[in-house]
Amino acid sequence: MSSNPSLKPKAVSAPGKVLLAGGYLVLDRGYTGLVFGLDARIHCYVEPIKTNSGVILSEIIVKSPQFKEATWEYGYRLTENDGGIEVTQLRASHAIPLTRNPFIETALSYALTYISTFTPKISASTITILADTSYYSNPGTPETPSSRFLNFSVPLQSAHKTGLGSSAALVTSFTAALLSYYLPEEIFDLSKEASLQTLHNLSQSAHCAAQGKVGSGFDVASAVYGSCLYRRFSPSLLSSLSSPGRPFFAKQVKELVEGKEVIWDTEILKDAVKVPKGIRLVMCDVDCGSQTPGMVKQVLAWRKDNLGEAEPLWKELQQRNESLAGELTRLATTDKGEEEEEDKYAKLRDIILAIRSLIRKMSALSNVPIEPPQQTALLNAISTLPGVIGGVVPGAGGYDAVAVLVEDKEEVFEGVKKFIGGWKVDNQGSDVKIGKVGMLGVREEMEGVRGEDVGIYEGWL
């Protein structure tokens, strides 16, 4: 696999997410999830490895310089029997322990396999990953006074995630950067709808493989497309996909990704999600986090064993979630001159309160802390503040950051920030201890994956 001097560096970013409505429901194709992209992004920059003349490498180096010892080196080879690209992690140094990153390793193998169906000659490269500050609650320091990225000065495995969908944003931006770098624009171009579909299908496949299970995929969908109303794909789509190096894996990936032989039944409706001018979304981090897989397993087991009480609850939640999307769209499309209500957000407040009530009911029936008492107290208190419309524990719930809709005014934002800065969490009677509550520097964003200007990475490359 020889080098290609004509390849130019590429930079791509993908957003995080918050599932404002549809937690647990989104796992079932009969229901939908209302997911917002966030302006916190994970960036990937790809450039050629610089070598002496005549030296040919079959190596890809991946670096995450915000963390200690976060470098992964991979050898790669084109396997026989159309098995695609198989990657093998190399030891960069005997002084550094060999730690695996399944999301990077799997996304690399899947992306290179797809690329190899167009060109078997894949040159060596270096990939730098940078994450916006809000993905982690660890304190950090900027490398330069103007840098948007922080040096967290801890190993990656010691970082405290805030639950914004870092793995999906990573896999999506990483895959998009590789495809943009190695493939010509006539084959892959992020400004084209067909290329976004390719990216979505490939990222979903790699992300599910890295997780070791087929998830709902709403996080990858929002990383590609931004804010949307999402209905999941059928899990059977990925059931026959083998693994890198196995015979005909490359053919399977190409057919799956391009959707010609295999039809993806995902529904991604961007027009169904609108944020009215005058409203913004804020996230309050409780620096604790949840064990999402275990919670999901327990809720689904309860639903399976108690269909009589679970199904009416699911259907009512779906109706309320659709009402939430509809009311946001109504507010976004109502002419200001037509809006004469004394409290134009009254209906939105009522919908959010109804959703929370149903979530607490699900929490009690399944014995899973979807909206734990500490989060209930926090949301109730925040909701009394001037300019606050209402908030929820998003996604699968638990102790991840809460999402709150507020009027988009500086005094409202600062009021919430000041309030939660002094919030005292009552952990009595709970095995889970929540630390300090803080405001994440994020808000909603409609845009999904995009190319970036390399200048924003000054000091990191």
pLDDT tens per residue across span 375-424: 999 999 999 999 999 999 999 888 878 999 999 999 999 999 999 988 87
Pairing of strands 10-21, 450-451: antiparallel
CA 122 to chain CA mean position, Å: 28
Q: Print burial letters for 274-299: b (CB count within 10 Å at least 16), e (below 16).
A: bbbeebbbbbbbbebbbebeebbeeb
Contact assessment for residue 454 and residue 9, using Cβ atoms and an 8 Å cutoff: yes
Q: Kindly give, in sequence order, each residue whose CB lies less than 8 Å from that of residue 124, ignoring residues fewer than 6 positions away.
A: 1, 3, 48, 49, 51, 56, 57, 58, 59, 60
Picking from 114-123, 257-266, 347-356, 423-432, which range would have the lowest pLDDT averaged per residue?
423-432
DSSP string, 71-105: EEEEEEEEPSTT--EEEEEE-S-TTS-----HHHH
Question: In DSSP terms, which residues pair with 13 in a beta bridge?
Answer: 43, 450
Strand ranges (E), 65-197: 71-78, 85-90, 125-131, 141-142, 150-151
Domains and CATH numbers, the chain: 10-270 (3.30.230.10), 279-445 (3.30.70.890)
Q: Is 270 strand, coil or helix?
A: coil
- pLDDT for the residue numbered 2: 41
Question: In DSSP terms, which residues pair with 86 in a beta bridge?
Answer: 77
pLDDT tens per residue across span 418-459: 999 888 776 655 666 566 788 888 999 999 999 999 889 988
pTM of the model: 0.92
Q: Kindly give, in sequence order, each residue whose CB lies less than 8 Å from that of residue 410, ignoring residues fewer than 6 positions away.
A: none
- pLDDT for the residue numbered 427: 62
| The pair of three-digit structure tokens given for residue 125, joined into one six-digit string | 């490269």
Question: In DSSP terms, which residues pair with 231 in a beta bridge?
Answer: 267
- pLDDT for the residue numbered 163: 82
Contact assessment for residue 133 and residue 283, using Cβ atoms and an 8 Å cutoff: no
Distances in Å between the Cα of 181 and the Cα atoms of 102, 231, 346 are 22, 31, 49
pLDDT averaged over every residue in the chain: 90
- pLDDT for the residue numbered 451: 97
Confidence band, pLDDT 50/70/90 cuts, at residue 1:
very low
